[in-house]
Amino acid sequence: MRVATVFGMSALGLALAATPVMAASDAAQRLAQDAIIVDTHIDAPGELLSHWDDLGVATPGKEFDYPRARQGGLDVAFMSIYTSPDEDAAGTAWQTANTQIDAVEAMTARHPDKFALLRSPADVEKLRKGGRVLLTLGMENGAPIGDDLKQLAAFQQRGVRYITLAHSANNRISDSSYALEKKWGGLSPFGEQVVAEMNRLGIMVDVSHLSDDAIRDVLSTTDVPVIASHSGMRHFTPGFERNISDELAKAVAAEGGVVQLVFGTGFVNPTAAANLQAYFQAEADFERENAKLVAAGKPARSKDDFEDAWKQAHPVPVTHIDAVLDQIDYAVKLIGSDHVGIGSDFDGVSGNLPVELRSVADYPNLVEGLQKRGHSDADIRKILGGNLLRVWTQVEKAAKR
């Protein structure tokens, strides 16, 4: 479960999800089909564990499936191998991660004409022939490696090509942007070893979800460019550390990296982002009050009741594609078109998405919006996937050296 799921989908949001969006222009459709689209964050694997579906056929309850991926022009989908802080604490993160990887492998084996596993950017052109959607793996939260650096090589062998070092809580590797109190002041000493080993193995370092100090530590430690796999620009959501600051976006770009911009309402809508920040404080207060009740021999309050009340008091605001286009415009002006990409967070934000970006079928709507805002087709190709493939290639070549 993602942090953004604390905001339940409103009745209006459910209605919008079922409402077809006007088709993009022919020019946008053609470019989406011709360009190589790389989305660095799709949460299908975790969804498959909670409710299995055959994503090789139309699956209306999900945001990623093969028919809509081809409709939208998606070529490379990074499947998010997500584990929670609770699984980390329980010692089950390694098992969960491997089970999710098994699910992705099973999906490709079931539909070899529709999917293929991608392990190197050099194989994109070869493997996407015949209309296949290429699946590669991004690990969201470094918890599955535990305290064992050797697990990095094991997961690299299984196809993991980036790792988000932490998620919604501090872990043994890094501080999290969401944590109200930081543990390490950035990366831990073990985290510095993790970054160095990832460089050696050719695994991209992902700084989304990290605290500002942790991102600075990553940039001072890494020998190769890094990515932010699914982040928004903090310029639009002041004080929201989960989104990347102008300073750090520039630093990522200066090292040759790329900021992959997210679509989720909680990251691109200022009201939703403020609500998400407020939720963490409210949750901490709730846990503290419950601890006092238990210490006094009184029954604890229901966490479910707390969550339900929060959702009712903080409905998700309706958001449109302009919120994402504004982020891209701003990022391109700030760090240049060579350092911007997309990481949607499809299937990871409980349907809380812009009206015109409801699923992987909707990339042409994004293309049309960028065209209308004056971005050249060459720059749009870079944003859709060229920049990410460049960084991945650099990281892979450095590892081989």
pLDDT (tens digit per residue) in 328-353:
999 999 999 999 999 999 999 999 99
Give me the pLDDT at residue 166, please.
98
Q: The tokens of 266 are what?
A: 């909680």
- Is residue 270 over pLDDT 80? yes
Spatial distance between the Cα atoms of 320 and 342, rounded to a whole number of angstroms = 16
Spatial distance between the Cα atoms of 255 and 380, rounded to a whole number of angstroms = 21
Residue 44, in any domain of the structure: yes
* Cβ–Cβ < 8 Å for 206, 231: no
Give me the pLDDT at residue 22, please.
62
Q: Radius of gyration (Cα) for the chain, nearest Å?
A: 20
- Is residue 20 over pLDDT 70? no
Q: Which residue has the higher pLDDT, 22 or 231?
A: 231
Give me the pLDDT at residue 277, please.
87
Spatial distance between the Cα atoms of 124 and 396, rounded to a whole number of angstroms = 14
pLDDT (tens digit per residue) in 108-159:
999 999 999 999 999 999 999 999 999 999 999 999 999 999 999 999 999 9
Query: Which of 151, 160, 221 minimizes the C-alpha distance to 186?
Result: 221
- Write out the residue range of the structural domain in which residue 135 sits: 3-270+318-400
Residue 303, in any domain of the structure: no
Spatial distance between the Cα atoms of 264 and 273, rounded to a whole number of angstroms = 10
Q: What is the dihedral of CA 269, 270, 272, 273, to 10 degrees?
A: 110
What DSSP string runs through 215-263? HHHHHHH-SS--EEEEE-BGGGSTT-TTSBPHHHHHHHHHTT-EEEE--
Q: Which residue has the higher pLDDT, 288 or 267?
A: 267
Task: Tell me the angle at which helices 363-372 and 322-335 cross, rounded to the nearest 10 degrees.
Answer: 60
Neighbouring C-beta atoms of residue 274, cutoff 10 Å:
16
Mean pLDDT over residues 31-43, rounded?
Answer: 98
Give me the pLDDT at residue 14, please.
45
* Cβ–Cβ < 8 Å for 336, 257: no
Give me the pLDDT at residue 2, please.
58
Average confidence score pLDDT of the chain: 94
Mean pLDDT over residues 243-247, rounded?
Answer: 98
Confidence band, pLDDT 50/70/90 cuts, at residue 265: very high
Spatial distance between the Cα atoms of 53 and 342, rounded to a whole number of angstroms = 25
Residue 17, in any domain of the structure: yes
Give me the pLDDT at residue 241, please.
97
**pTM across the whole model:** 0.94
Confidence band, pLDDT 50/70/90 cuts, at residue 291: confident
pLDDT (tens digit per residue) in 292-304:
878 888 888 999 9
Residue 173, in any domain of the structure: yes
35: region left, alpha or beta (phi > 0 left; psi from -120 to 50 alpha): beta
Tokens 């530590």 found at: 217
User: Per the structure, how many domains does the chain have?
Assistant: 1
* Cβ–Cβ < 8 Å for 380, 30: no
Mean pLDDT over residues 178-189, rounded?
Answer: 97
Letter for the amino acid at 346?
Answer: F
Q: The tokens of 183 are what?
A: 């543990």
Residue 373, in any domain of the structure: yes
Give me the pLDDT at residue 280, please.
84
Q: The tokens of 188 are what?
A: 């831990």
* Cβ–Cβ < 8 Å for 366, 21: no
Q: Buried b / exposed e across 279-311, counting CB within 10 Å, b at 16+?
A: bbebbeebeeebeeeeeeeeeeeeeeebbeebb
CATH number reported for the structural domain that contains residue 57 in this entry = 3.20.20.140
Residue 126, in any domain of the structure: yes
Confidence band, pLDDT 50/70/90 cuts, at residue 249: very high
Q: What is the dihedral of CA 232, 383, 31, 122, to 10 degrees?
A: -130
Residue 346, in any domain of the structure: yes
Backbone angles phi, psi at 131, to 5 degrees: 85, 20
Query: Which of 51, 47, 50, 49 minimizes the C-alpha distance to 64?
Result: 47
Distances (CA, A) of 246 to 199, 282, 327: 25, 28, 12
Spatial distance between the Cα atoms of 203 and 164, rounded to a whole number of angstroms = 11
Mean pLDDT over residues 76-84, rounded?
Answer: 98
Residue 302, in any domain of the structure: no
